[in-house]
Amino acid sequence: MKNVYLDYSATTPVKEQVVNEMIPYFTEYFGNPSSLYTPGLEAKEGLITARNRVAELINSRPEEIYFTSCGTESDNWVLEAVAEALENKGNHIITSKIEHHAILHTCQHLEKFGFEVTYLDVDSEGFVRPEELESAIKDTTILVSIMMVNNEIGTIQPIKELAKIAHNQGILFHTDAVQAIGNMPVDVKDLDVDFMSMSAHKIYGPKGVGALYKRRGIQIPSFIHGGAQEKKKRAGTENTAGIVGFGKASELARMNLHSHMNHSSKIRNMMWERIEKEIPDIILNGPKDFSKRHPGNLNIAISYIEGESVLLMLDFNGICVSTGSACSSETLGTSHVLNAIGVPVTKANGAIRITVGDNTTEEDVDYVVDNLKQVVAKLRELSPVNGEKGW
Ligand SMILES: *Cc1c(COP(=O)(O)O)cnc(C)c1O
């Protein structure tokens, strides 16, 4: 049996070169980066290199990068910090209905404290309509937060255009770019965003480390209170090895960006061509124009059967896919993203997400599609809701 991992949007394996750079920071350079003696300074050097590399990936200045414990923390921090900093200016935040739960649940939390949140609708492919953002802005709006690439259906938002609309009204703009970095060119200067969230483990780096880009000159309160780390903005002894790994992963992502994008999209396109041709009654969720879609993403609604059953049966054959997003694997329910793009519940329940990456091969495509065909046929045969019998 082969093992084929097709869930790169949930997490990625750590590259060997990344692991090799991290290891000395557990043993040799174990010092606390805040200490003034040599082992502390060695650790500090590692942080400096990593910050430069992450900054280079997104074309920011190193001093605009703040390391955090994950993409989720970066999302929580920016929303809560802007809410706190600007509460005298207004209490209104605009986001979209298809954001990651790190944004949506933080918004819901802020609503309990008197903030008002507009959750913008998206079109049938997951795009925020710029004119809807424009008309949602009020005098009390203090922040717009729209993700750059959706983690379930791969939609790439027109962030530059959306940020411009916010800035024309003097409103700060944040983007969750966790799925974007390493998968498309990301340039904070060109996009002209004020804040950006990132995570290492989605770009072949380690889990438990992320970053927030904050444009120079904008003042926000800290989220984790304590020592003076990260220019007094994010206390706690740094995850030195993790940050070093994030730096190396960022460097590799920048150097390999085009070959990674070409490889992912080639494999993804091959897989979609076969699936579309060989499996009846399926729908591609998300953008049909693949130039506006994450290069490794497919999200397919398979009629008459449950996505979870497909997932479990593929797992018997060594294939890993997900239903909707990994974050909802413990809350069996319809995906909020598929719901927002208008996929009916009956079809959304049969959705699986396939995300390919650097280690996916052309042979994997054949193995996966052959298996998927069999699994779908078998489940449809057993399904009480098959064809004429109902749905
Ligand atoms: C994975 C993901 C996150 C969360 O990042 P973690 O580092 O796992 O906390 C946030 N937003 C998006 C779009 C993601 O895909």
Domains and CATH numbers, the chain: 4-12+257-382 (3.90.1150.10), 16-255 (3.40.640.10)
Q: What is the 9 CA–ligand 1 centroid distance (Å)?
A: 9
**Is the CB of 357 within 6 Å of ligand 1?**
no
Q: How far apart are the C-alpha atoms of 62 and 180, rounded to whole Å? A: 19
Q: What is the pLDDT of residue 334?
A: 84
Q: What is the pLDDT of residue 7?
A: 98
- Mean pLDDT across the chain, nearest whole number? 95
pLDDT digits (tens, 9 = 90+) for 199-210: 999 999 999 999
Once rounded to an integer, what is the mean pLDDT over residues 334-353?
A: 93
Tokens 């920048």 belong to which residue? Answer: 254
Query: In 3D, which of 257, 180, 126 has the Cα closest to residue 188?
Result: 180
If one residue of 179, 196, 212, 335 were mutated to test the ligand 1 pocket, choosing by the most ligand atoms within 8 A of its CB, it would be 179
- Residue nearest to ligand 1 atom 6, measured at CA: 71
Tokens 């590799």 belong to which residue? Answer: 252
Once rounded to an integer, what is the mean pLDDT over residues 305-311?
A: 94
DSSP secondary-structure letter at 323? S
**Is the CB of 72 within 6 Å of ligand 1?**
yes
Q: How far apart are the C-alpha atoms of 303 and 376, rounded to whole Å? A: 9
Decide the pairing of beta strands 172-176 and 116-120.
unpaired
**Is the CB of 341 within 6 Å of ligand 1?**
no
Neighbours of 263 (CB within 10 A): 19
Q: What is the pLDDT of residue 327?
A: 47
Host H or E run for residue 92: strand 92-96
Ligand 1 nearest atom to the CA of residue 73, by list position: 9
Ligand 1 nearest atom to the CA of residue 102, by list position: 10
Helices H, strands E: what count in the chain?
Answer: 14, 12
Tokens 């069996």 belong to which residue? Answer: 332
Longest dimension (CA), the chain: 75
**Is the CB of 324 within 6 Å of ligand 1?**
no
pLDDT digits (tens, 9 = 90+) for 320-342: 999 964 445 555 578 999 999 99
- Residue 389: pLDDT band (50, 70, 90) is very low
Query: In 3D, which of 232, 214, 213, 208 has the Cα closest to residue 222?
Result: 232
3-state secondary structure of 109: helix
Q: Which residues contact 128 (CB under 8 A, 6 or more apart)?
A: 96, 120, 122, 146, 157, 158, 162
Once rounded to an integer, what is the mean pLDDT over residues 87-99?
A: 98
pLDDT digits (tens, 9 = 90+) for 220-269: 999 999 999 999 999 999 999 999 999 999 999 999 999 999 999 999 99
**Is the CB of 176 within 6 Å of ligand 1?**
yes
In a 13 Å sphere around the CA of 228, the CA atoms on its Cβ side amount to 3
Q: What is the 149 CA–ligand 1 centroid distance (Å)?
A: 11
**Is the CB of 206 within 6 Å of ligand 1?**
no
Per cent of the chain over pLDDT 90 is 93
If one residue of 157, 202, 299, 327 were mutated to test the ligand 1 pocket, choosing by the most ligand atoms within 8 A of its CB, it would be 202
- Rounded to two decimals, the pTM is 0.96
Q: How far apart are the C-alpha atoms of 207 and 13, rounded to whole Å? A: 10
Q: How far apart are the C-alpha atoms of 343 and 325, rounded to whole Å? A: 15
Per cent of the chain over pLDDT 70 is 96
**Is the CB of 335 within 6 Å of ligand 1?**
no
Annotated active-site residue 327? The verdict is yes
Neighbours of 280 (CB within 10 A): 11
Q: Does the pLDDT of residue 384 top 90, yes or no?
A: no
Alpha-carbon distances, residue 158 vs 16, 72, 161, 164, 191 (angstroms): 34, 22, 6, 10, 9
Q: What is the pLDDT of residue 304?
A: 93
Contact 120, 94 (CB under 8 A): yes
Q: Does the pLDDT of residue 360 top 50, yes or no?
A: yes
